[in-house]
Structure formats: structure tokens, C-alpha cells
Structure 1
Amino acid sequence: MALLENSATLNVAYGPIDEDHAAFIGLLNALASADNAAFPALFQQLYEHTEQHFAREDQWMAEFAYSGIADHKGEHQRVLGEFKQFKSRVDKGLIVFGRSFVKERLPQWLALHITTMDMALATHINNRPS
């Protein structure tokens, strides 16, 4: 069973962001069904994908003079910090901590982040003057 479905509710109508979210959701769902042997590598992939996605969003916020940049970047930094804590546990073989983070924290956080912060960013990008 998928932890999160890539639904219209999670679509922000800005292709590059929606594509990144679809990849995140795919990795999240793969982690949910991964065995203990495959979990660490998939967790690493999700971590790296998240870092890259946040860097792209941070670049767009600067490029398009987004007024919410400080709060949005702050949220990115907070989540990466939390991610790093769980990644260090997974790296030590404590897979149960990573599974908890993947199942109990990330789906809810992602859905809220997309429907609030990312939606506001995408609206700003889509409504910029040509």
C-alpha cells in the first residue's frame, strides 16, 4: 500500500516542482515496501533527491524574487536537519528509525508543505510578469 498518492491535490501547476514531488513520492513509496537490505540505499536516494529539490526551489525563489523566501528556505533547512538525524541512524543500521520517519513523518509533512509553501511559490512563479 502506498504511503502517499501523487494526486491532483499535490499538484502545484509548475512542472519542475511537480516532477520533483512525483519522484519524491515514488521513492517514499518504494521505501515503505523495501526490505531491510534495500532500505539504506533507497533512504540515501531520497535524502539526495530532497537536497537537490530544495536547492532548485531555493534557486527559483531567489531568481523570481519570492517574498516568502526566508520562511521557505528555513523550512527546507529544518527538514534537512531532521532528515540528517534519521539518516545517521539508518547509516548505523538502525533501520527502524528510518522506517518510522518515512511512514509517520514524511508523508504528512510533504502533503502540508506542498499545499502551503510550494503552492504559494508556484503561484508566484506562474503569475510573474512575462
Structure 2
Amino acid sequence: MALLENSATLSVAYGPIDEDHAAFIGLLNALASADNAAFPALFQQLYEHTEQHFAREDQWMAEFAYPGIADHKGEHQRVLGEFKQFKSRVDKGLIVFGRSFVKERLPQWLALHITTMDMALATHINNRPS
């Protein structure tokens, strides 16, 4: 069972962000069904993807003079900090903590983040003067 579906309601109408989100959702759903042997490597992939995605968004916010940059970057830092705590536990073999984060925290956080902060960023990018 998928934790999150990549649907039109999660589209921000800016291709590069939507593509990153689709990859995140794919990894999230793969983690939901991964066995304990595969889980740590997939969790590492999701962590690295998240770091890279946030770096790209941070770059776009600076490039396009996004007025909400401070709050948005702050949210990225907060989530990466939380992610690192769970990654540390997974790295120690405490898979159950990673599974809890994947199933109970990330889907809800991602859906809210996309429909609020990322939607506002994409709207700003899409409406900038040519």
C-alpha cells in the first residue's frame, strides 16, 4: 500500500520541483514495503535526495528573490535536523524508528509542505516577470 500518491493535488506546476517530489514519493513508498535488509540503503537514498532537493529549492529562492526565503529555508533546516536524528538511529540498526518516521511523519509533512510552502514558491517563480 502506498503511503502517498503522486497526484494533481500535490503538483506545484513547476516541473523541476514536481519531478523532485515524484522521486521523493517513490522512495517513500519503496521504504514502506522494504524489508529490514533493504531499508537502511533506501533511507539513505531518501535522505540524500531530500538534502539535494532542499539545496535546489534554496538556490531557486535566492535566484528568484523569493520573499519567504527565511521561513522556507528554516523549515528545510528543521526537517533535515529531524531526518538526521532518525537516520542516526537507522544507521545503528534501529530500523523501527526509521519506519515510524517514514510512515507516521513524512507523508503528512510532505503533503502539507508541498501544498503550502512549495506551492507559494512555485507561484512566485511562475509569476516572475520575463
**Aligned-pair distance for 1:77?**
0.0
- Give the CA deviation at 1:6: 0.2
5+ residue gaps, structure 1: none
Displacement of 1:63 after TM fit?
0.0
Inter-partner Cα distance in structure 1 for 2:129 and 2:118: 19
Q: 2: distance between equivalents of 1:129 and 1:50?
A: 29
Tell me which residue corresponds to 1:124: 124
How far does residue 96 in structure 1 lie from its aligned partner after superposition?
A: 0.1
CA distance in 1, matches of 2:14, 2:52: 17
TM-score, structure 2 as length reference? 1.00
Shift of 1:105: 0.0
Q: Secondary structure at the match of 1:102?
A: helix
Shift of 1:45: 0.1
The runs of at least 4 consecutive aligned structure 1 residues that moved more than 2 Å come to none
How far the C-alpha of 1:123 sits from its partner, in A, is 0.1
Give 1:120 deviation, angstroms. Answer: 0.1
| 1:91-128 CA distance string (max 9 Å, x none) | 00000000000000000000000000000000000000
Alignment partner, residue 65 of structure 1 = 65
Q: How does 1:19-30 map to 2 (within 5 A)?
A: 19-30=19-30
Superposition deviation, residue 51 in structure 1: 0.0
Q: How much does 1:60 deviate?
A: 0.1
* Percent of residue pairs identical: 98
CA RMSD for the aligned pairs? 0.1
CA distance in 1, matches of 2:75, 2:82: 11
CA offset at residue 35 of structure 1? 0.1
Whole-angstrom CA distance in 2 between matches of 1:23 and 1:74: 23
Residue 6 of structure 1 aligns to a residue in which SS? coil
* Whole-angstrom distance in 2 between the partners of 1:7 and 1:113: 15
**1:37 shift after superposition:** 0.0
Figure out how many residues of one structure are paired with residues of the other and give that number: 130
Q: What's the secondary structure of 1:36's corresponding residue?
A: coil
Structure 2 portions without partners, runs of 5+: none
SS of residue matched to 1:122: helix
Instruction: Tell me how far 1:12 sits from its aligned partner.
Output: 0.2
